Each structure stands twice: as C-alpha cells, then as structure tokens.
Amino acid sequence: MSSAHGITLEDLRQVLESASGVADGVDWKDPGTADTPFGDMGYDSLAQLQMTIQLEDKYAVSIPEDAAAELRTPAALIDYVNAQLTAG
C-alpha cells in the first residue's frame, strides 16, 4: 500500500515483481537495496520497461523513456514518481 506521501520501496517491489517476477537474492528489507542498480538486482531493460508501464498505469504518472533510462535504482525511481505525485 502506498503511503500518504507517495510510493514506498515495498510498493515498488510489488510492481516490479508483478511485472517481471521475483529476482533471486534481492533482500528488499535491506535499506541498501534502494540504492542497488536494477541491473545488479537481475532486472534487465525489458523488466524495467514493464515496471515503468505498470507504475504509469497504477499511479497515473508519466515516466518518459529518456527519464526512465536515467532512473537506475529503486531510490531514484521512487523519488521521481513521488515528485510527480506531490506536484500533481
């Protein structure tokens, strides 16, 4: 469930796993996971694209391709989405 202030790491985990499945060896309870690049977590560019589409649909935000390419970690993506949610 998203917080009143935007999405959380848990929200992102649910979207990512729904879009692309569970990545082996990713500990979502570890605070360092938020700063781990998606590629290092085992998610390729297709998985990231699917996740982006689901986030856009679920939270009614826009994540342009060029922006999505720069959002390489969960923390960066969460910050981007939450900035849109608070601006909207």
DSSP-assigned letters across all residues of 2-57: -BTTB--HHHHHHHHHHHH-PPTT--TTSGGGGGS-GGGGT--HHHHHHHHHHHHH
Q: Is the pLDDT of residue 88 over 70?
A: no
More confident residue, 44 or 88: 44
Q: Is the pLDDT of residue 75 over 90?
A: yes
- What pLDDT score was predicted for residue 1? 43
Q: Is the pLDDT of residue 23 over 80?
A: no
Mean per-residue pLDDT, 25-38 = 91
CA 1, 14, 80, 52 torsion: positive or negative?
Answer: negative
pTM over 0.85: yes
Mean per-residue pLDDT, 68-85 = 95
